Structure 1
Amino acid sequence: MTSEGWGAGPVEPISQHYIVCGGNALAHRLAHELVEHYDVPVVVLVPDRLRDHAPRIEQLEGVAAVVEYGSVTEEALRAVRVEAARGIAFVDGTDQENIHAALSAQGRNPGIRIVLRMFNQRLGANIERLLSNGTALSGSATAAPAFADAALSRPNSVQVGDRFLHIAYDDDIRSDRLCVVADRIDRQDLGRIRLLPDQEGDAASFIRLAGEFGDDGPIHSGAEARRAAGTGAGAPTGGIAALQTLRGDPAVRIPWWRRLRWRLLDTLRFFTSVRLRVVLITALAAVLLAFGLLWHLNGNFAWTLYSALLDLAGAAQPDRPGDAAGAGTGGSWQRVAQVVITFCGITFAPVATAIAVEVLASGRRGQPRNPGVGTRDHVVVVGLGNVGTRVVSRLHGLGVPVVGLESDPQARGVSAARALGVPVVVDDGPLHEQLRRARLKHSRAVVAVSGDDATNLEAALEARAVRPDVRVVLRLFDDSFASHVYATLDNAASRSTSYLAAPAFAAALMGREVLGTLSVFRHVLLIAELSAELGSGLIGLNRHDLEERGGVRVLAVRLARSPQVYQWRYADRTRALEPGDRVVVAATRSGLARLNTTLTTGG
């Protein structure tokens, strides 16, 4: 690898290479993905070789060159020889900057494959029409479902046709599983995991499992397997993961009455301050006590209600001196009760006016809401950047109460949360104080997705200090760091945004369509759909050909004569694919890369 100074291009002329523009975590993972799994020449264009992930990118084996330019200009594109490149990915900068750079690259090389990272997916879909050979992806949108689902302890799923694919573990694995995707999982040492192990066809794995655990029986958990094998608790035997289908996206079931209670309490909190609530609650309590006294003395509920409503409106008819006992309101205690109700009714009018003035005149509608006193069973999202914004939106769409926590009032997610009506704590004070204001004691999970591993770990530890049993989900880049988290924290999950998104970006750069990614702890399983087009190396291959290279399992086939029908567990392993056929596969990163090489070379 060569590293060049500002304004310099690759030392040696290079062609048929791939260019990665950016110095962030996604650029780092993408460059690593291309050189390790696709074995293609890669040139990386970084804005500053001393900042962010640029120093680590320079250390990657197999990267042809690292070039430094402050922005992706025409001069920078010439320096990385875009006119001779096969593909280019823009994974840093704003949406506007990436669009401008993509159009410039297409102008210099009309046939180049372009992949650009876009936060605004709607805009990205429209930009794709301007690119002759390009696609727009959102790294945060790719990764956010895994974070949200981990917070809810629900399976992360990818929709394929009318089914949802998800990963099941140990005793949750059913007999109708599509395939085993991992065995030998040691939760204390995730480096021992074996994702989509090599096998001699589908039957071999099931025969082996049947021999270990019994015919047609459930796959045992790691603990049960150790007992069956007579090994101790310290043995390295782990669990098993399998790919299964659901008939519908798993819903988050929250009783309607709890949602109604949250809404009522939050509405009261939004429209009133603490002092106004004290006045209202005191007056309401006095009215109820007086109403109860009147009802007790008169014994007629209808008359009592009628009289109390008139008193609240200030329309009571007072007794006059000389009236006989029992006339009019009658009785001293009844008179006292009616006076209390009347004065409370007089109080409600100015309080209602004060509420209207506070809401309409103070401009509070333009500010993000603080968490209400009724906020319960919510998810606290720490960090409202691109990923945090997506996580908040997904949780809100599922009907789960969510509270955002952000130190920068100008962060993208603050305005997005305000538009959704999601409460946000905006403060740069101590983290434990921010978590307290986010009502951590009543939360169901904390999702720490800021851009800094140390900050995310701090948020998890602070949360555990307040609530030892709260579920924590962390965004961590470093794999060894994440392994230590798994080993020391219970009820915790770790995800890497770049690790989840990079395989999809790499596959898109190679012209493959990735439907989604599934997490097996820190490992990634790709669900992709391949199309057998004229000139493609896929034509003529059968299911056995696709799977024998390792790291690939065929899940379903859509034949050209019936493209709307997904034929799951396609039984014919010898039928050669014809033009127009489409194949849905589950693949590891290396498996999809090997398959891509086969299809590109045509054999």
Structure 2
Amino acid sequence: MGQNTTIDPNFFLVCGLGSLGQYCVSVLKEFGVKVNAIEEINTQTWEIPELPDCIDKLVTGDCRQPKILEQAGIKQCRAILIVTSDECVNIAAAFAARSLNPQIRLVIRSAQDNLNELLQQSLGNFIAFEATQLPANSFALAALGCETRGFFNLNNRLLQVFGVHINGSHRWSHCCLSEVNTSHRRVLVHARAGKPLPKGFYQWKPDAKLLPGDSIFYVEATENFTTHSPKQMNTFGQSWNEIVTEIKWQNLYHKLTQFWEESTQTRRVAFIGALFLVILFLLGTLLYKSQYPEMTWQDALNVALVLSLGGYGDLFGQQTIPFVITWWLHLFSITMSVTGTLFVGILYALMTERVLSARFQFSKRRPRIPKTDHVVIVGMGRVGRRVAELLQELKQPLVGVNTKDIEPGMLPQMPLVLGNINSALTKVHIQTAKSVIVVTDDEVTNLEIALKARTVNPKANLVIRTFDPRFSENVANLLPYARVLGVYELAAEAFVGAAFGENILNLFRLDNQTTLVTEYQIEADDTLNGKLIADIAYGYGLVPIFHLRANQYTPKFMPSDDMRLIVGDRLIVLATIEGLQAVERGTIKTGKCWVRVEKTISPEAAFEGATVISRVTGCDMQLARTLMNQIPATLQHPLYLHQAHRLVHELNKSQVSAYIE
């Protein structure tokens, strides 16, 4: 056995210094941690010029070799980011790293979804991303050119981020920002007319009014979200199989409710029919056995089965009934047979539907190419296909352009033009398109296509995929009207966030700042454990959007500031990289506002006021009661601005006069 070594929580290792690896090193350094790196060849040129100053130790060699990993300090590392361009190398290096350091967190670059799930089970403390697919949302949203700035699905609920410019006729014109905040909506950023958007969240005053010319960004939980992506479309059998394999007595009701909500009307009828038929079958077996004691259980089951399958004529088809039967059992037998016939008919209909849909799926012609106000996606690789799926979920008309056909049955509702891209562009009505997204694997080709599209349609939104940061900067300067998105720059922050132990669910851009949809599973030694949602929101600068207790099945969207986190809770937030840094370091801001309580109209109001103070601020109830007995007095508990405004509002509702000093 090797000698035990101490893990350094501020020590990280990056394997592979291509574009993605260099950005990962740069972002890690923003956290102020130690970063070692492994690169197969010693290069003298860097895409990020200051990168050599960010690396504490650079080891040249193969990251799959244990000797190279040990030279880089693998045994002391908290996490290793394996981001070479070769997936086989990444996976092999992950196994080598785990054997040398059983505690290290593995963050690798891989697009093999099924393999990644198996690796997560076998390696543990493991997460994998595909760098080119992470920014797919950013490409889709950049093409829309509308108020939607981000969207993601949580627990079958669609959450969207909107950016709105307020004019005189807008419904929120001259409204207080606190009125915009509701149980399903949270304000993120507010900017006055002509002023830049502030960095970070909560840089706005709850009592400020929205005036014409202002801009506001907010996140909102909307309707239940059902995607029609082929990957996510469940059959009746798949849905039932998920319930059977995951069912437990504790979550039986939750699983059945989930199955019911996700099923179509036809499947619901089939399910009810099957359940009713099973009940009749069991009841029929018991009745025949009780009425005819000499009948064996096997014969009773056989009689019930024949009746369940509509076999009434097989038992009672003769002119004279062959055995004595009571009138009520005879009527019950008729009911069983009729119910069984109906269910078998429904079953045959479902099977026929499945067979016909499978038979004609491949011969189904794609829809016609839209003629106006549509999105053209050039390049239908992994990124292009994912962007197309997202745009279809948003019900955007679109057409794809690719050099070769994609897999049969993939994106069947999307028009597709194949062949030479230059000639294909003449067939997709690019002159009337709303947006053109160019996401081939060749950034020079992307630039060429973008320039041609600009010539044909100067009004279209141009979105260009790039890889090299210098090339991205040059293209952005050449085409100031286009959205030039560097995939590795966008993805690096997700990789780094995952290296610190957070689960990055999604990301989007908000005024040139990456916002990460981040999941926390609260543990005993977590910096979030025991804190109010208000502390997490205003102290760390995060926006909590989802909270679920360990022993509950119904989550809270836009959870209340009053809730206190405990071990086992699941919390999902919107966070900037600075917010993740604050949580990692435990550097929480303290409140600077003081609330003064002036008077109350009755002892009952004073009692209620103490309860409100304790609930909203999280302070000890004794402190709150002492304050209410000494009014007028100031609460000796510093609060955040938004928290103080809420406390004053709640106290006023309880007929207690208070204000912020």
Smaller-chain TM-score bracket: 0.5 to 0.7
Structure 2 residue aligned with 1:179: 186
Q: Relative to 1, partners in 2 of residues 1:186 and 1:453: Cα closer, same or farther, differing over 3 Å? A: farther
CA deviation string 1:15-39 (max 9, x = no partner): 9621122233322222211111x22
CA distance in 2, matches of 1:54, 1:396: 39
| Residue 589 of structure 1: how far off its partner (Å) | 1.0
Contact 2:63 2:93 in 1 (8 A): no
CA distance in 2, matches of 1:452, 1:546: 43
Structure 1 residue 39 corresponds to structure 2 residue 32: yes
Structure 2 residue aligned with 1:68: 60
1:194 aligns with one of 194, 198, 209: 198
CA deviation string 1:157-202 (max 9, x = no partner): 0223343222222247962464333344999x9xx54232454xxx
Instruction: Give 2:199's aligned amino acid.
Output: L
Structure 2 residue aligned with 1:388: 384
Q: Relative to 1, partners in 2 of residues 1:40 and 1:521: Cα closer, same or farther, differing over 3 Å? A: same
| Residue 456 of structure 1: how far off its partner (Å) | 3.1
| Residue correspondences, number | 428
Q: Relative to 1, partners in 2 of residues 1:468 and 1:394: Cα closer, same or farther, differing over 3 Å? A: same
Query: Is the partner of 2:458 in helix, strand or coil?
Result: coil
CA distance in 2, matches of 1:580, 1:464: 52
Structure 1 residue 582 corresponds to structure 2 residue 558: no
CA distance in 2, matches of 1:523, 1:495: 12
| Residue 546 of structure 1: how far off its partner (Å) | 2.0
Instruction: Give 1:465's aligned amino acid.
Output: T
CA distance in 2, matches of 1:159, 1:18: 31
Instruction: Give 2:447's aligned amino acid.
Output: L
Instruction: Give 1:205's aligned amino acid.
Output: K
Structure 1 residue aligned with 2:278: none
CA deviation string 1:476-526 (max 9, x = no partner): 46475576478x42xx54433223322221121111122221221432112
2:107 aligns with one of 96, 104, 115: 115
CA distance in 2, matches of 1:28, 1:185: 37
Instruction: Give 1:473's aligned amino acid.
Output: V
Q: Which has the higher contact order (CA 8 A, sep 6+)?
A: 1
1:26 aligns with one of 1, 20, 31: 20
Contact 1:432 1:463 in 2 (8 A): no
| Residue 115 of structure 1: how far off its partner (Å) | 0.9
| Residue 63 of structure 1: how far off its partner (Å) | 2.2
Q: Relative to 1, partners in 2 of residues 1:251 and 1:185: Cα closer, same or farther, differing over 3 Å? A: farther
Within a 5 Å distance, the mapping from 1:165-564 to structure 2 comes to 165-171=159-165, 175-176=180-181, 178-184=185-191, 192-197=196-201, 199=203, 205-207=205-207, 209-210=208-209, 213=210, 220=212, 224-225=213-214, 239-249=215-225, 374=369, 376=371, 379-395=375-391, 403-405=399-401, 415-416=406-407, 423=416, 425-427=418-420, 432-433=422-423, 435-436=425-426, 440-441=430-431, 443-451=433-441, 454-476=444-466, 478=469, 484=477, 488-489=480-481, 492-564=482-554
CA distance in 2, matches of 1:120, 1:244: 32
CA distance in 2, matches of 1:510, 1:194: 26
CA distance in 1, matches of 2:457, 2:437: 14
Contact 1:46 1:54 in 2 (8 A): no
| Residue 376 of structure 1: how far off its partner (Å) | 4.2
CA distance in 1, matches of 2:186, 2:219: 6
Once the two structures are aligned, what percentage of the paired residues are identical? Answer: 24
CA deviation string 1:140-162 (max 9, x = no partner): 33211221233244623022334
CA distance in 1, matches of 2:9, 2:181: 48
CA distance in 1, matches of 2:508, 2:587: 24
Instruction: Give 2:104's aligned amino acid.
Output: I
- With structure 2 as the length reference, what TM-score do the two structures score? 0.56
Q: Relative to 1, partners in 2 of residues 1:536 and 1:371: Cα closer, same or farther, differing over 3 Å? A: closer
Structure 1 residue 91 corresponds to structure 2 residue 88: no
CA deviation string 1:516-567 (max 9, x = no partner): 2122143211222222212222222223432344532333432345353215
Q: Relative to 1, partners in 2 of residues 1:526 and 1:415: Cα closer, same or farther, differing over 3 Å? A: same
CA deviation string 1:410-462 (max 9, x = no partner): xxxx65488556635444xxx75453355534644311224565543332221
Query: Is the partner of 1:246 in helix, strand or coil?
Result: strand
Query: Is the partner of 1:140 in helix, strand or coil?
Result: coil
Structure 1 residue aligned with 2:126: 134
CA deviation string 1:372-393 (max 9, x = no partner): 9856455433344542343345
| Residue 598 of structure 1: how far off its partner (Å) | 1.6
Query: Is the partner of 2:217 in helix, strand or coil?
Result: strand
| Residue 87 of structure 1: how far off its partner (Å) | 0.8
Instruction: Give 1:179's aligned amino acid.
Output: R
Contact 1:513 1:529 in 2 (8 A): yes
Q: How big is the alpha-carbon RMSD for the aligned residues of Structure 1 and Structure 2? A: 4.0
Instruction: Give 2:22's aligned amino acid.
Output: H
Query: Is the partner of 1:457 in helix, strand or coil?
Result: helix
CA distance in 2, matches of 1:522, 1:586: 15
Q: Relative to 1, partners in 2 of residues 1:15 and 1:406: Cα closer, same or farther, differing over 3 Å? A: same
| Residue 81 of structure 1: how far off its partner (Å) | 2.5
Q: Relative to 1, partners in 2 of residues 1:400 and 1:164: Cα closer, same or farther, differing over 3 Å? A: closer
Q: Relative to 1, partners in 2 of residues 1:599 and 1:540: Cα closer, same or farther, differing over 3 Å? A: farther
Q: Relative to 1, partners in 2 of residues 1:443 and 1:71: Cα closer, same or farther, differing over 3 Å? A: farther
Contact 2:201 2:542 in 1 (8 A): no
1:157 aligns with one of 151, 158, 161: 151
CA distance in 1, matches of 2:127, 2:578: 22
Deviates more, 1:62-71 or 1:504-513: 62-71
Q: Relative to 1, partners in 2 of residues 1:513 and 1:139: Cα closer, same or farther, differing over 3 Å? A: same
Contact 2:24 2:492 in 1 (8 A): yes
Deviates more, 1:74-83 or 1:96-105: 74-83
Instruction: Give the gaps of 5 or more residues in structure 2.
Output: 1-7, 173-179, 229-361, 589-661
Instruction: Give 2:71's aligned amino acid.
Output: A
CA distance in 1, matches of 2:552, 2:78: 34
| Residue 577 of structure 1: how far off its partner (Å) | 2.3
Instruction: Give the gaps of 5 or more residues in structure 1.
Output: 1-13, 214-218, 226-238, 253-365
Query: Is the partner of 2:57 in helix, strand or coil?
Result: strand
Contact 1:371 1:424 in 2 (8 A): no
CA distance in 2, matches of 1:185, 1:90: 43
Instruction: Give 2:387's aligned amino acid.
Output: V
| Residue 591 of structure 1: how far off its partner (Å) | 0.9
Q: Relative to 1, partners in 2 of residues 1:484 and 1:169: Cα closer, same or farther, differing over 3 Å? A: farther
Q: Relative to 1, partners in 2 of residues 1:45 and 1:185: Cα closer, same or farther, differing over 3 Å? A: farther
CA distance in 2, matches of 1:130, 1:136: 13
Contact 2:447 2:464 in 1 (8 A): yes
Instruction: Give 2:162's aligned amino acid.
Output: A
CA distance in 2, matches of 1:57, 1:186: 37
Instruction: Give 1:181's aligned amino acid.
Output: L
Instruction: Give 1:532's aligned amino acid.
Output: I
Contact 1:157 1:249 in 2 (8 A): no
| Residue 113 of structure 1: how far off its partner (Å) | 0.4
CA deviation string 1:104-152 (max 9, x = no partner): 1111111110011221223212221111211122333321122123324
Q: Relative to 1, partners in 2 of residues 1:99 and 1:458: Cα closer, same or farther, differing over 3 Å? A: same
CA distance in 2, matches of 1:577, 1:391: 36
